[in-house]
Chains A and B, each alone.
Chain A
């Protein structure tokens, strides 16, 4: 998370992000034929904020409140033993549970696909959804696992030498997707 990266180029601004989320919300309603059994689960940190925003939009469209929660995947990461343990983030499963429902995972950036694999494992321990779908704000490519998103805000072809950083008002004070040059090889993940 390098805010000092001054040559970062903005590829999506606040209004773009709002439009993109509205489109994804409509796509969810269309594919789920009304979104009656949809549960949104955001992946911390920014996926949770995006999940809440999507839930608001779904409520506007369908007139019904959509359950929304968060799913921390830290314990399920496959690189857990390569770094010091991270602080855990919040897992909040809506009271309705996820059994037999359509779970839409929400994240900010889809990259290697390993986070989503971990999320699928985590879901396995919590219940058995009818189906799982994935919504991301940005798909930057470079998948290392056979995983693809069902709803993509923006496809952003990148090089591995670039970083994609999502800023959201709830956490960063403004909405933007920034594309920058990677400062050093160590920070490849972000």
Chain B
């Protein structure tokens, strides 16, 4: 049984499809006058954010509240963490307060895994982004958005993304979104291509279940969904590309490039977008760009994950994590 959601690689295809199907039902709740379900009534969930993230935290909070959970928000800034308290002490404090689940965002890769496996806390742990490692709920909401747009809202139920061609463009090296998406999209049967300058590809990328290319223009015509990644300057401690203009010219998405894509193809971005560099305003504001949909879908998908992990006396999703992973 999977008690935690640490990595998108942990999910089996059945589990991933179950989460997407459940999210589709959760989306229907958003259309109702009363957007609330009683499934997590009486449960307390702590959003433990050691790293700033307004978007993800609000998304989790909305999902938790729509499922009637009690929510505690913990931001490291201004807390005892800035006074030197360790992750272990924070975890034990939460355990003593009887928290039923922890949603954690941390700048250190592996912090959620440590929290889940150290025995400091008994509650399920959900990874809301750790360093450059994983962001599984982001991958799930992206897959949900793709399935809705490329397979169909009702036709997609029970389906994966078999045969769909997805291109991820940009800063793969610093991107947990890219890692999580490659894992999950592969599990769901999609063909993934990474396009990035060689300096922004991680060591060992050849062992990932995807293709790698340096040329965006030749990849776009055979793409069903293109996902632009944010250039994470805050994580860059060296020169990875000559100039912003150079990057934009080779890896940015503008109207001319978008025109090379098939008509049904969509443009995705995990946000926040740097307009003018990764993506032009023309593309960002076009019909094909799903950024706003992705935000809405994030709430539905996180509701599904929380319900399936916490709704019953044991989680509904299975566990595939192998030793040492």
Contact = CB atoms under 8 A, between A and B. Distances in A.
Interface stretch (A58-66, A80-88, A162-170, A181-189): A80-88
Given A75-B311, A82-B312, 8 more contacts: A72-B25, A82-B313, A83-B313, A85-B311, A86-B312, A88-B307, A90-B25, A126-B32
B162 to A, nearest CB: 21
Nearest to A81: B313
B37 interface: yes
Interface of B: 18, 21-22, 25-26, 28, 32-34, 36-39, 307-308, 311-316
A83 to B, nearest CB: 5
Nearest to B307: A85
Contacts of A80: 39, 311-312
A187 B25 CA distance: 27
A85 B312 contact: yes
B111 to A, nearest CB: 27
B313 A125 contact: no
Contact of B312 (A84, A125, A127): A84
Contacts of A81: 311-313
A84 B33 contact: no
Contacts of A84: 312-316
A75 B26 CA distance: 11
A51 B28 CA distance: 21
A155 B39 CA distance: 33
Q: Classify the secondary structure of A's interface with B.
A: loop
Given A76-B38, A121-B38, A127-B33, A85 B28 contact: no
Contact of B39 (A75, A87, A91): A75
B312 A83 contact: yes
Interface in A105-152: 121, 125-127
B313 A87 contact: no
A80 B67 CA distance: 13
Nearest to A76: B38
16 contacts: A72-B25, A76-B37, A80-B312, A81-B311, A81-B312, A84-B312, A85-B307, A85-B315, A87-B316, A88-B21, A88-B22, A90-B25, A91-B25, A121-B38, A125-B36, A126-B34
B200 to A, nearest CB: 40
Query: Can you list the 8 inter-chain pairs with the closest CB atoms, starting with the nearest?
Result: A85-B311, A85-B312, A88-B25, A84-B312, A75-B37, A75-B39, A85-B316, A125-B34
A91 B311 CA distance: 18
Nearest to B35: A125
A153 B25 CA distance: 31
Nearest to A78: B38
Interface string A81-104: 111111111110000000000000
Nearest to B23: A88
Contacts of B316: 84-87
A87 B312 contact: no
Contacts of B33: 126-127
Contacts of A121: 38
A85 B25 contact: no
B314 to A, nearest CB: 5
A186 to B, nearest CB: 15
A87 B34 contact: no
Nearest to B309: A85
A82 B145 CA distance: 32
A82 B314 CA distance: 9
B4 to A, nearest CB: 15
A90 B153 CA distance: 13
Nearest to B32: A126
B38 A75 contact: yes
A121 B28 CA distance: 17
Nearest to B68: A75
A76 B39 CA distance: 7
Nearest to B22: A88
A44 to B, nearest CB: 11
Contacts of A86: 312, 316
B39 A125 contact: no
Nearest to B28: A91
Nearest to B42: A81
A87 B314 contact: no
